[in-house]
Amino acid sequence: MPIRKTEKYEETQVYRVRHSASHVMAQAVMELFPGHAKFAIGPAIEDGFYYDFDLPRALTPDDLVKVEARMREIIRGNHPFIRKELSAAEAKKLFADQPYKIELVEGLERGAEDEDGNPLTAPPVISTYTSDAFTDLCRGPHVESTGKINPDAVKLLNVSGAYWRGDEKRPMLQRIYGTAWNTAQELEEYLWKVEEAKKRDHRKLGKDLDLFQINPEVGPGLVLWHPKGAMIRHLVEEFCKNEHLKNGYDFVYSPHVGRGQLWETSGHLGFYRENMYAPMEMDQEDYYVKPMNCPFHIHVYKAGIRSYRELPIRYAEWGSVYRFEKAGVLHGLMRVRGFTQDDAHIFCRPDQMPQEIDRTLSFCLHILRSFGFTEFHAYLATRPKEKAVGEPAQWDAAIEALRAALDRSGLEYAIDEGGGAFYGPKIDLKIQDALGREWQCSTIQFDFNESERFDLHYVDEDGKEKRPYMIHRALLGSIERFFGVMLEHYGGALPVWLSPVQAMLIPIADRHTDYARKVQEQLLAAGIRVKVDVRTERMNAKIRDAQMQKIPYMLVMGDKEAAAGAVAVRLRSGEDKGAMPVETFLEMVKQALESKE
C-alpha cells in the first residue's frame, strides 16, 4: 500500500540545524551591540529561521555580513549545546536585563505559553540551552554542537520589522531572517528557487501580462479580471464544465445571498460566523452573503421526492462565495475575500458510495492533469477525537471508501489521523508546482451533518425513507487561487490551449499588413486566437514584446512569405521554426492544442 511516511518537520535534523543556527545568530548579534541588545524569540520556520531583536539602531546590510562572518566562527568553534532545567525564579534572575525573556518566563510560569508564546497543553518545564557564550530560554531540540551546522549552508537573508507578539501596540522589533540547509548545494538550490519564485510571482505576472487587478478602491481581496485573464478563466471554465457534463454532473445556479434562517439550519451561523460577512437587512430579516454553496444545492435536492433509482445525483456550480479573511493574510489571488469554487455536491445511496468516491477521485486527477500538473500529494483526514457527528460505522465505511479509492488511484498518501472535520472524513489533494511547492487544491469531503440538519431523504427499494450520503467536492478549489498557482507554475507561459492570444502576426513593413490581415482571417476561421501587431515598431521590437507577453507563436511576414502564402514561425522560447505554408502552421497548432502542451 503506497502510504507515504510523513516525518514531522519538528523531528527532522534540518529543523534542529535551523533552530541551532538561530541561537548562533543571536549570539553574533548580541556581540555586535554589547550590553544594548534585547532578544525576543527565534524559532525555526519553513525553509529557515529568524530571530527578533530590540536594538539601539536599525541594522544595515553591512551588519548582516558581519553577523554572518561571526556565525561561521562560532560554528567552527564546535561549541556543545548544553541543556539546563531551572526554576522560574532562577530564569528571571538569569534574564534580569532581558524584558522579553522575562515576559516569556512569566508566561511559562502561568503555564499558559511556551517560550515562543504559543499556547501550552502540558505543564511547562523551564529550560535553557547554552552554546559558547550564549544562553537562551529554550525547549530545544538542538544539534549536539555548533559544528553540526554546515557553515557553507547558512545564509542570512534580510531584516524586516515585526511587532513583539505580533501586537501592533507592542514594540516594533527587528527580525533577521536566515536559512540553513544540510549541504551547500541545498542552499544554492533554495536560493535559486526563491529568486525564481520572485520572477514567477503571480501578482507581478498578472500586472505584466495585464490579466487582473486587486484595487484598494474596489476592496482588498476582491479581484477584477481583465479581458486576457477573463479569457483564460473562460477557457478553464469551459473545459471543466464540458468534462463535468461528460462525467454525469448536472449544473445548477444559486443566488449570492440567503436568509439568516438558511444559515442557521446549515450550521454556518453557529460554526462559521466569524468567516462570514455581516448581515444585511431586507424585509426586517437578516440576509447573508454566501460563504458556501451547499445549502442551495441541498434545497435543489429537496425540491422533489428522490427515489433510490435516480441516485447518485451530482449538482455542480461555479459558485462565487465570500469569506472574511483578515486584511493581513490576504495575498494576491492566493488568499482573497471573494472567490469562485468549482463546487459540486453528490447525493448517493450508501451502497453507491465507494464507487462514487473512486469516480470522483479519478475525475479529479483527470482534471488536474489536463492543466499540466503531474505530482500530487494526498492526505486522508480521519475522525477527530473530540465531538463528531454521524455513527462510528458510517465514519468507518466512509474512511474505508476514501482509503480504497486512494489505493486504487496509485497515489501516495499520508493519513492525517483525527484531522477530519467534525462532520466527516475527507481527502485533500495538493498539487506540486514546477518549483516543488505544494498547493492545496482539491477536496473530497464527506458530510454526515448537513443531510441530518436539512432532513434529506430518498425512498429506497423497500419503500422506506432513508438518508442519502452527501459529499462536497471542489477539484480546482478556488479558481482565483488555481489561476495564481497555474501562472506561477508556468511562469506565465501558459500552454497553447490556455493562452489568451495564441499567435501574434508581425508584418515586417506597412505593405505586408494586408497579407497579415488575410492570414488573420484564415486563422480566426480555424479557431485560433490571433492578433496583428500593426504598430510602426521595428520587427525585432515586435517579436520581443510578443515574447514578453508569453504569446506561444509569432508569425513574421515580409515579401517572401506574402508571395509564397507562408508565415515565418518563431516560438516564445526564441526558437526559429522558419517559413512554412499557413496550412502547415495550422497543423502544428492543432497538435499542440490536442496534446494540451
| Catalytically annotated residue among 233, 335, 403, 426 | 426
| Catalytically annotated residue among 306, 345, 489, 550 | 345
Q: Evaluate whether 379 touches 339 at the Cβ level (below 8 Å).
A: no
> Which cell goes with 508?
515586417
Q: With residue 476 as reference, give the H or E element that holds it.
A: strand 469-478
Separation in Å, CA 417 to CA 11, 80, 315, 379: 18, 37, 30, 10
Q: Which is nearer to Zn ion, 18 or 472 (CB)?
A: 472
- Determine how β-strand 469-478 pairs with β-strand 458-459: unpaired
Cβ 176 to Zn ion shortest distance, Å: 15
Interatomic CA distance for residues 224 and 137, integer angstroms: 48
Q: With residue 408 as reference, give the H or E element that holds it.
A: helix 392-409
Q: Which is nearer to Zn ion, 344 or 568 (CB)?
A: 344
| Catalytically annotated residue among 18, 142, 268, 323 | 323
Q: Which is nearer to Zn ion, 266 or 549 (CB)?
A: 266
DSSP-based three-state secondary structure for 379: strand
Interatomic CA distance for residues 382 and 452, integer angstroms: 20
Cβ 239 to Zn ion shortest distance, Å: 22
SS in 3 state form for 320-349? EEECCCCHHHCECCCECCEEEEEEEEEEEC
DSSP-based three-state secondary structure for 524: helix
With CB under 5 A as the contact rule, which of the stretches 91-99, 268-276, 286-294, 548-556 interacts with Zn ion? Answer: 286-294
Binding mask 93-122 for Zn ion (x = CB under 5 A): ------------------------------
| Catalytically annotated residue among 52, 54, 342, 343 | 343
Rg (CA), the chain: 29
Q: Verify cis geometry, omega within 30 degrees of 0, for the bond prior to 141.
A: yes
Cβ 445 to Zn ion shortest distance, Å: 7
Cβ 497 to Zn ion shortest distance, Å: 29
| Catalytically annotated residue among 472, 489, 542, 572 | 472
Interatomic CA distance for residues 154 and 183, integer angstroms: 9
| Catalytically annotated residue among 341, 394, 445, 502 | 341
Q: Which is nearer to Zn ion, 43 or 77 (CB)?
A: 43
Cβ 100 to Zn ion shortest distance, Å: 14
Give the angle subtended at the CA of 529 by the CAs of 525 and 531, to the nearest 5°.
100
185 part of the active site = no
63 to 92, contacts with Zn ion by CB under 5 A? none
139 part of the active site = no
With CB under 5 A as the rule, give the number of residues binding Zn ion: 3
Separation in Å, CA 210 to CA 138, 214, 457, 549: 49, 12, 49, 9
124 to 183, contacts with Zn ion by CB under 5 A? 138
Q: Which is nearer to Zn ion, 75 or 487 (CB)?
A: 75
Q: Which is nearer to Zn ion, 18 or 570 (CB)?
A: 18
| Catalytically annotated residue among 294, 348, 364, 441 | 294
Q: Verify cis geometry, omega within 30 degrees of 0, for the bond prior to 312.
A: yes
Cβ 126 to Zn ion shortest distance, Å: 13
366 part of the active site = no
Interatomic CA distance for residues 251 and 258, integer angstroms: 19
Cβ 155 to Zn ion shortest distance, Å: 19
Interatomic CA distance for residues 67 and 28, integer angstroms: 5
422 to 481, contacts with Zn ion by CB under 5 A? 472
323 part of the active site = yes
Cβ 319 to Zn ion shortest distance, Å: 9
Q: Which is nearer to Zn ion, 138 or 232 (CB)?
A: 138
With CB under 5 A as the contact rule, which of the stretches 239-247, 287-295, 493-501, 586-594 interacts with Zn ion? Answer: 287-295
396 part of the active site = no
* Cell numbers 503555564: residue: 111
293 to 322, contacts with Zn ion by CB under 5 A? 294
341 part of the active site = yes
Residues in the chain: 597
Which amino acid appears at position 112 of this protein?
A
557 to 596, contacts with Zn ion by CB under 5 A? none
240 part of the active site = no
Interatomic CA distance for residues 508 and 554, integer angstroms: 12
Q: Which is nearer to Zn ion, 134 or 164 (CB)?
A: 134
Q: Which residues are catalytic?
A: 294, 323, 341, 343, 345, 426, 472
List contacts with Zn ion (CB under 5 A).
Answer: 138, 294, 472
